[in-house]
Structure 1
């Protein structure tokens, strides 16, 4: 039988946490283990977790005797490290899972996978009362999981819609550095070292409210857009360096993709032009105009304060 670990990191989540756990208890697939870590809550989150743990032996509160804040990326990594499973699901404290989420995503993979693999689905955004804001947040023209060169321009993975296998989890645990958010890092590892796949269905009600750590937002103003673009560019450069150093066995093709992306920040206009013409980086969620804008920014270097 396929084994499943659900990884749930909490922080002051008492308002919505019970509703999320109930949606996991209502899953049609029953063979899961829910691992929960509290990242230093000051509200009643820990008591809610203890209450559910006492009622269902599939729920495990992994740090109930040592509640401390280590940050969301390290917190999820601690959960992944806690015990082995065939597949891992990331879980946010404030969403709601549809009853067939685990069953359908497992059916998509047809069991175990030998390569490092991450699968993610679409999302339905809802307000704090679960009223639908948008049925789907992916490109209405048809989103596909990006290949590595395009993931470098725009990470597309949202944690609460993710499932990944043990091989990818093992790669993640080899990473010593904490660079950016955990979900986009997992997507980057999958695109670099294995496979990244998208299911064109929504199995999660992705709640948007004032306490979200990361939400579905739209930047406004050219300064904010440039700041976001180059901030993400620096994160992806740091990740590219780290993967090249940590995983020397990466394929020659992907090694070249990463090295030439890094090169963009260290060569002149002509050098950048040659790389961009060769790769023609594409936004997987934004269409042709976004892709053109992203490539022009890479070419012009406007707003880039440099990658250290």
Structure 2
């Protein structure tokens, strides 16, 4: 008996967000997508500014391949908004959606390996080999691991360019929630939405190269946690967002990056999901209410001990807990 999941005889849309792509890396990526063994797809390339330049590149790389089309936008939204408007262009005829960065490299059987898992899950994500743009291997695998929604809220395990999901997930995730913070990421939002549906999987298949270079907006964390480096970065961000580098200001900034973003995601899901699933109930109970601080500390402790959460994110969230108290005090003082 063959227990291997069977592939969906399906049509899908690949949304590729582009912004001033490096011509060589862009060509390599587009060719790798065009050579997928599951060839029943369209690739919508959303050009975030300079659509004509992107269109010329696509025409020169893939002349005559009408599966690839460029949706040009003159206004610059950044990667978060660019992926969002790309997803709004997914046609009703699509059964599934995949996301793509402009400078990675897909292995030929990526879609063929991942799509069968959508028979039993709303989203599946694989693994990648981490390489530099010169081809040097940084890590043999991204080592993503499936965690429950509470751990996933603390540390994201779903990378947009590695995942494929059913089209009906768009009904939950669009439009994207908005918060002015660096932690606002499309893949974290999509992953948490899938987890709230009790319905995502992570497999060990290495399905692409994840290319690291100086122009990455968000790269793969390959260095160990460095407290001094993290503190310097936190002070820089506090000066930018809070106009101060004091300890309370740093803590408030961290609170907005961690718990502010979580509260927005959970609140959005509670409004949009027709039924409150067990996962969504568990997440709301963990992060809200008068005793939430104790539940969060216990969650972080269990996550670190159980190797579901790295030390850096755990410590960041502990600082965020202090920052939440500072923010509450500021609000109380302003209202009195």
Scaled by the length of structure 2, what TM-score is found? 0.75
Aligned length: 291
User: Is the Cα–Cα contact under 8 Å of residues 11 and 40 in structure 2 kept in the other structure?
Assistant: yes
- The structure number with the bigger radius of gyration is 2
Is 1:59 matched up with 2:68?
yes
Is 1:213 matched up with 2:217?
yes
Aligned partners of 1:286 and 1:46: how far apart in 2? Answer: 44
The residue aligned with 1:159 is 160
Structure 2 gap segments, 5+ residues each: 1-8, 235-249, 332-336
Could you give the per-residue CA deviations for residues 87-129 of structure 1, whole angstroms, max 9, x where no partner exists? 111100010011111111123x1x645x6x1111111110012
Aligned partners of 1:29 and 1:234: how far apart in 2? Answer: 40
Q: 1:173-252 counterparts in 2 under 5 A? A: 173=174, 175=175, 177-179=177-179, 180-217=184-221, 218=223, 220=226, 221=228, 222-223=230-231, 224=233, 230=255, 231-247=257-273, 249-251=275-277
The residue aligned with 2:43 is 34
Aligned partners of 1:289 and 1:162: how far apart in 2? Answer: 22
* Alignment match of 1:13 (pick from 6, 16, 21): 21
Structure 1 gap segments, 5+ residues each: none
Q: 1:81-230 counterparts in 2 under 5 A? A: 81-82=88-89, 83-84=91-92, 85-107=94-116, 109=117, 112=119, 117-138=122-143, 144-173=145-174, 175=175, 177-179=177-179, 180-217=184-221, 218=223, 220=226, 221=228, 222-223=230-231, 224=233, 230=255
User: Is the Cα–Cα contact under 8 Å of residues 198 and 277 in structure 2 kept in the other structure?
Assistant: no
Aligned partners of 2:306 and 2:63: how far apart in 1? Answer: 43
* Alignment match of 2:82 (pick from 67, 75, 81): 75
Aligned partners of 1:69 and 1:299: how far apart in 2? Answer: 33
CA separation of 1:11/1:284 partners in 2, compared to 1, >3 Å: closer, same or farther?
Answer: farther
For residue 57 of structure 1, report the CA deviation from its aligned partner.
0.9
Aligned partners of 2:287 and 2:262: how far apart in 1? Answer: 9
Aligned partners of 1:190 and 1:151: how far apart in 2? Answer: 11
Report which of the two has the higher share of helix: 2
| Aligned-residue CA RMSD (Å) | 3.2
